[in-house]
Structure formats: structure tokens, C-alpha cells
Amino acid sequence: MDTKVINGNRSRPDHPPGCFEVVKGVADWLLSRTDVRPRIGMICGTGMGSVPGMINVRNEFAFEDIPHFPVSTVKGHAGKLILGFIGSVPVMCMKGRAHYYEGYDIAQCVLPVRVMKECGVTHMMISNAAGALNENFQVGDVMIMKDHVNFLGLAGVNPLRGISDDRFGPRFLLTSRIYDKEMRQMAKQAAKELGYESQFHEGVFAMVGGPNFETVAECRMLRMMGIDTVGMSTAHEALAGHHCGIKVFAFSIVTNKCDMEYDSGYHISHDQILASGFRMELMIRMWISTIISLLSAELEKTKS
């Protein structure tokens, strides 16, 4: 059997989706088709479809045309990878994502993050649509993630599972500072400069597997645990990014409240979530471009 030795471990013969050779191959494929050398990676989740509109686009690829890329099957996720500039900052932006509940292996879900790293990305911004558990949050608010509870990861559905390859990062990863403090600070400053402060919070996100929305008992349990928002993405991407040394920033856009009461009659649907996200897009675009202009000074300092 044709096996390959990586760091003393024997890899599976078929090159699994998380393996370095596959990731490097995809990065080389992209870099040979663009002049953009991205520094910021962006993942735009549900309801953030028009946010990439602020990018001065140089190249655009459908996910299905990129080798090994997981293709999104969810409404509102266009499945496009954009390379271009916001101001003078080179960016690589995913318009949509593939989720674990769509049937992918968790390592396949984070392949784009590792590809970003191999393409030169040093800072990442991740968005998700999420339900609010915190009773003080309103639909239309934004929560900057200072931490997460990754229910999938805790149960072993973890992109770091499997053969450990030092070219990505260490076997045992410290995650107590997974969300970059400076980027969170810039995000809060940007919200303040724009006069959005009252709609912005900082808090703890929980990633669940989905695709069902949570039961009342589940919502109550999550809230008792101190969790502020819940969604079906992001934590595994943040983990993969942090693991390979990217500075990670993530936020939830509050698209709905979670149903905490039996027989409340409260209804949550993906279409409502898309509509709530759509209403927030202008605000998010202004906020992100302000964060990026604050970040650009730091990027200049570390230009290669």
C-alpha cells in the first residue's frame, strides 16, 4: 500500500482532506491564478451575502471549481471565494461556508481556513448568524465573540483530531485566548466611532451541530451555562485558524431570539434569519471597513 510518513506518523494512503499536501496544493492552485497576496481572511455567514460587495474584486472562484473545497448547499451561501482589496488591504473572502451538518467531515469544513494560512493570511474575521440566549440582546444586535463553547469539539468532532502535523500547529493547543484581544479592541473602537455602541456586545458563543434549532430545554441549559448566542458554525474555523497561527476575530449577528418558553408561539425559520441578516448588512459593512482601516496600520508593520 502506498503510505506516506508525516512526522513519524503514517498517513492514510488517500491523503485525507485535512492533510498538509492537499492544503498546500489548493493554496498553490489559487496563488497561481491571482496576483493578490491576501493578509485578511473573511468568512461571511448566513445573511452576510452582500458584505463582500465592499471588496474591489480581482478574482472570483466558485467553491465547486476549487479542488477539494467543500461546497455550500445552504440558501444564502453563494459559495464564492473572492480575492481583492478593501482599501489597500489584500483580502480573501468566502461568500458563504460549508457546515458540518451538510455532511462534510469536520476537517473538510476547515480546509478553506488552512488554505488561507498557506496563501499568507495573518488575520481572520468570521461571522455567523446566531440566536440570542442573553435576554438583553435584541434582533439586529452584534456580539463580538470573546470565547466559545464548542459542543462538537468537546465531543471529539474536532478538526485537530487525527494525525498531528507540525506544519499546521501543535498536537495540544492552548485555546484560552483563541479570540485576539487587539482585534476585539479595534472592533469595539470601530463600533464606538460609528455610534453603534448600544447595539454591540461582547460575549460567549456556543457552536452546536444543527441543523435543527434548539429545543426550549436546550436553550435553557445553554443560558444556564452562561452562553449568550448559539449557532451552527464558527468555533471549528476559529480553532483551525488559531492552531495555524492566524489571529482570529469572530462575531455573531443576532438574527433571532431563542425560544425559552413552552407554548410561546415564537417561530424561527431560516428565511427569517436571512431577512434579519440582510437588514444588518449596511451596518456590518461600515463596521468591518472601519475595523480594516484600523487594522491596516498593524498589517503595514508586519509586511514581508
Contact region with ligand R1P (CB under 6 A), list: 49-57, 82-90, 107-115, 230-238:
230-238
- Cell numbers 489597500 label which residue? 88
Q: Are 302 and 246 in contact (CB under 8 A)?
A: no
- What are the residues binding ligand HPA (CB under 6 A)? 129-131, 213-214, 230-232, 255-256, 258, 268, 273
Say if CB 246 and CB 173 are below 8 A apart.
no
Let me know: does 291 contact 84? Beta carbons within 8 Å.
Answer: no
Identify how many contiguous H helices and E strands the chain contains and give both numbers: 8, 11
Question: Which 90-109 residues touch ligand R1P, going by CB under 6 A?
Answer: 97, 99
236 lies in the site for ligand R1P, by CB under 6 A? no
Radius of gyration of the chain (CA): 19
229 binds, among ligand R1P, ligand HPA, none (CB under 5 to 8 A by kind): none
Is 273 a binder of ligand R1P (CB under 6 A)?
yes
When the beta carbons of 180 and 214 are compared against ligand R1P, the nearer one is 214
Site for ligand R1P in 207-226 (CB under 6 A): 210
Minimum distance from CB of 74 to ligand R1P (Å)?
6
Burial of 13 (0-12, 13-18, 19+ CB in 10 A): exposed
- Choose among ligand HPA, ligand R1P, none what residue 230 binds, the Cβ cut-off being 5 to 8 Å by kind: ligand HPA
Between 17 and 231, CB nearer to ligand R1P = 231
Tell how far CA 44 is from the center of its chain: 7
Contact present, 254 and 128 (Cβ < 8 Å): no
Q: Which three cell numbers stand for residue 229?
A: 448566542
244 binding partner (options ligand HPA, ligand R1P, none; Cβ < 5 to 8 Å by kind):
none
Q: Are strands 80-86 and 9-11 parallel, antiparallel or unpaired?
A: unpaired
Which residues sit at the interface with ligand R1P, rule CB under 6 A? 45-46, 74, 97, 99, 128-129, 210, 231-233, 270, 273
